Structures are given as C-alpha cells and as structure tokens.
Structure 1
C-alpha cells in the first residue's frame, strides 16, 4: 500500500452528491491538516472489510465531509508522495485555500472505493462542501481562471475546528496512531482499556496534524496525550481512564451516563 505510482489516466469532469454526515472544519496552513484522515473515520480497516458496500459508502461520505475542503491524495500535505499530489498541494497553498487531506496510500479500501463512489478513476481528488471538484487538471483551470479561492468554503477559526473534531463522535480519543496501530505505549494502553469497555469510539491521530496536536493542549488545558472526550467534554488521559476502569465507572462514563 506504500507504493508510489503516478496515476496517468486523463481526468474527466464528474460530480457527485455529497451528503453531510459529519463535519470537521479543516485546513492546512493556519488551520489544520489531515487525517481527519482516520481521525474522522469510524471503524477499523478490518471492520470495514467485513461490511458491505452500503457501510463503505457511509464511511466515504463521512470522510468527504470531514472538512469543508477535503483533498484525497498520496501522502500528506506536508509530504506528498507523487508528482500530481505535490502539484495540487502547491496550488492550494499558493492560493491560500484552507484544506484537510487524507492519505489514500494508508487505506486501500478508501483508495479503491472512492474511485467508484465518485466515478473518478484517479488521484488526487478535491472535494468542497461534500461535492467533488475534480483532480489536478480541474484545480489548475480554476486557479488560472481565478475561481479557486471561491470554490472551497472559507475556513473556520481554529477553535471552531477543534470543537468540531472533538464532537465528531460521542466518544473521541486523541492519540498517537490509530485503533489499528498505536504509536506510543500510553496510547497502546488506553486502546486496550477502551476496547475492553465495549463502547464504540473514534480516534484522531495527533501525529498527522500538528495544529490539532498543539491547539488541543491549550484549548483543553491538558498538556499530554492521549486525551479522551465524551460528548464534547474532556474526561482525561490514561491515568484517569485507568482510575475509571478500576472503580467500575468506565463504561457508564463512556456512555455519557455519569
């Protein structure tokens, strides 16, 4: 999945109806980049693989609507992994377009499913307000015509985006890595506790988004990760979750009952 191959097919303009299932005001420069990119996705790859097309479509809709302007690309906005992705990121930055991005190399199901869902066979793909704008050629045309800045909605304030991220799921865990692969010992431990509780939750990989990583520390007045939120309210980190587990309160807290 880490192969870096340039899509050589010529892009043709199509549109798709994007249903707003969830929202995350995202961005790149003074906003935030990425991974809503699994940040914003509920369900693991393994779970998604067992689900049917309808479940995949719902997942894709959530991803597409994860930010007002969403770019599906190879690599990240900080480190594009193909020439086309590098060019489109450069155009968006040059024209001060605020966007979030998703690395399609990190998720083969999204990579293949989005081609069918959007009837658009190549990447990168840019979406605004849940609807397909197009690929590199379309973005180039919009840039040349002066319409690019008006195509994507204006970014919300960083604080508004943090609120949107926190409230994306009733139970949100901000961690290093994701459900499938924790990237630090503390995150690994809290995943074990969360999985043992049997309550559905979503995760956000703070390693993929430096502005969320730094901004959330100030916003919540909580300097370390992981951070667990229930219904938009900070519960705490690993130590707090351990205490709730030992006291028998963890499940009820995750369900918002106490």
Structure 2
C-alpha cells in the first residue's frame, strides 16, 4: 500500500513529511515488543485504505531516538499528526476509536488533485463509523474543551455534570459530515447525541433526560480514576505495576523484581505504567508510594523492589505472595 510506509532513519522520516506537503501524515511510534502496536498497525492499515491522500508512517521509537526525543515520545504506541511538516495533533496509547476520529477530522483538507478527501467514499458508511466510534458520541460545534456555540456548551456541561463518558466530533471541521448527518438522522440541528449507534437527540432531549433522572441510565457513566485503579489492582491476586512487561522490562528495577518473582513460582500479572500516564501518576497518589515498580497482593500494596528483596532474604516472599502472611 503506497500510503502505508515505514521510516527507519531520521532522513526517511523527514522525507515522508516533505513529500506529503499539506496532506495529513500520521506517524506511529511503535516497538516490536509491544502487542498493542501490532493491533494499532492493523487499524492504520484499514485507515490507509480509506484515506488515499493521507500518509501513514510506522517508526520504531527506539531505533530512531533522535526523532523520539525531539517529539518527547516516552511510551508506545504514540501517534503524531503532521501537516506541512508541522505537528498538529498527538495521541498517546492504543485508542482505535480516537485514532479513527482524529484521522477523519484532520484528513478533510483537500488532496493533491483539489478534491476533498473521501468524496468518493460512501458517506453513510462513514457516518456509521463515526457514530459508532464510541459508546456515547456527541456531534457538536467545536470540542468539549472549546465549544463553538451556546447549545454545544450547554450539552457538554450537562454530560460532565452527570459524569457521562463521551467522545465528540466537531461538525465545523467537516462540511460533508455536517450536512450528511442531518439527512442520515433526520435531525436538522446540532448538537446531536448518539448512544450505542442510536440517536438520542439534541440539547432539549438531553435536558429532559437530565431533569427526569434518566440521563445516567441512557448514557455510559465515566469511570473515576480511583475506581479504575482499584479494578486494575484487583485484576489478579498478585499485580505488579512496572515499566515494561514480563517479557521486556524497561528499567533495571523492574528487571530485578521480575527475576525475584519468577524465582518463586507464584503466578502474577503485570501492568505497564509507561502505556498509561493517568495510571502512572494516579497510582502514586492512590498508594502514597512515589516510585515504581509497585507490587500488590489481594489488592493491598506490598511495596517496591527493596521491600521484595527484604522479603526474599527473610524467606517470607512466597508466603506473602500467596496471601498467607
């Protein structure tokens, strides 16, 4: 596929940006050891079929450190979006719906031939994909951070007030979507809120649902960070939060604690804090423990590498991991 390429040097990376000109270039900073990167490459391959004028570049983050350092890439997968050689957006983590949404939003500029990108695509199929990009999708003017009309500002405030988790699409960025969705949904105005692919309605409907107490039941509620941390901590009786994973530790402390745990024969799971900045920062506060790795047994913090070393030396590590002491 001509618009799905790989850059192995800084020069190649810069050449791809230069050739793309004003058209969108999406760069995936990846690592061969990370399964999430392989999954996101499959998503990129599908997007490359839909967006012929967009260039999709795969780049091994550790193999081209000068580029990774320049753009402050601290984890994989990370996606950077470029136009005219300038970075215009960024996405950290393996979020397929968000990647799709950003590409669709940013790729609406004209291609080399002057025709709007995607003009030959089936609009209804495109609208369906956008509507189903997240369980709760809001089509609005602007973004949740910067609404561009009073109605959009009000509906965003209502959704946030009721702790509703939602993604959004700026209809001002895409005239085809803006006009097409009115016909598709038979709803002439914006904002429009969809849940699980079905139209809920506009601001008035959302207000009515909020007043009747039905909004929370209609839309998926946001998960608080504390609830999310508790869920991850309790995914396994023994959970290790580390840099990297069982197969590839990304720091010396994590590598040492893996060796100690592997020597016990006790089963455990790991979470790579480099993949999720929210967890990485939030867990420090939640556990009142400022460094990594962190080891939990049955939802309770045991400690870091020094504590695990002490338990190993005292002969208590196995019994602690089994929850016996």
How far off its partner does 1:82 sit?
A: 11
Select the residue among 229, 236, 243 that pairs with 2:310: 243
Distance 1:232 1:81, change over 3 A: closer
Q: Is residue 47–residue 100 contact of structure 2 (8 Å, CA) maintained in 1? A: no
Q: Is residue 80–residue 86 contact of structure 1 (8 Å, CA) maintained in 2? A: no
> What does 1:24-43 align with in structure 2 at a 5 Å threshold?
none
Q: CA RMSD in A?
A: 3.6
Select the residue among 290, 313, 322 that pairs with 1:223: 290
Distance 1:209 1:251, change over 3 A: same
Counterpart in 2 of 1:252? Answer: 319
Q: Is residue 88–residue 136 contact of structure 1 (8 Å, CA) maintained in 2? A: no
Aligned: 1:140 with 2:179? no
Counterpart in 2 of 1:87? Answer: 100
For the residues of structure 1 that align with 2:300 and 2:221, how far apart are their CA atoms?
27
Give the SS at the match of 1:181: coil
Select the residue among 46, 59, 64 that pairs with 1:7: 46
Counterpart in 2 of 1:174? Answer: 241
For the residues of structure 1 that align with 2:270 and 2:126, how far apart are their CA atoms?
30
How far off its partner does 1:90 sit?
A: 7.0
Structure with bigger strand share is: 2
How far off its partner does 1:148 sit?
A: 4.0
> What does 1:118-197 align with in structure 2 at a 5 Å threshold?
138-142=128-132, 143=137, 144=181, 146-148=192-194, 153-197=220-264
Where structure 2 has 5 or more consecutive residues not aligned to the other structure, the ranges are: 1-31, 51-75, 80-90, 106-124, 138-180, 186-191, 198-218
Give the SS at the match of 1:177: coil
Q: Is residue 293–residue 305 contact of structure 2 (8 Å, CA) maintained in 1? A: yes
Aligned: 1:212 with 2:279? yes
Which structure has the greater CA radius of gyration? 2
How far off its partner does 1:218 sit?
A: 0.6
Aligned residues: 154
How far off its partner does 1:139 sit?
A: 3.7
Where structure 1 has 5 or more consecutive residues not aligned to the other structure, the ranges are: 12-73, 93-134
Q: Is residue 240–residue 270 contact of structure 2 (8 Å, CA) maintained in 1? A: yes
- Range moving further from structure 2, 138-147 or 200-209: 138-147
Give the SS at the match of 2:248: coil
Q: Is residue 162–residue 212 contact of structure 1 (8 Å, CA) maintained in 2? A: yes
How far off its partner does 1:83 sit?
A: 9.9
Distance 1:198 1:81, change over 3 A: closer
Counterpart in 1 of 2:189? Answer: none
Counterpart in 1 of 2:143? Answer: none
For the residues of structure 1 that align with 2:226 and 2:295, how far apart are their CA atoms?
18
Q: Is residue 87–residue 136 contact of structure 1 (8 Å, CA) maintained in 2? A: no
Q: Is residue 173–residue 229 contact of structure 1 (8 Å, CA) maintained in 2? A: yes
Distance 1:80 1:198, change over 3 A: closer
Give the SS at the match of 1:257: coil
Aligned: 1:202 with 2:263? no
Distance 1:141 1:158, change over 3 A: closer
Give the SS at the match of 1:256: coil
Counterpart in 2 of 1:98? Answer: none
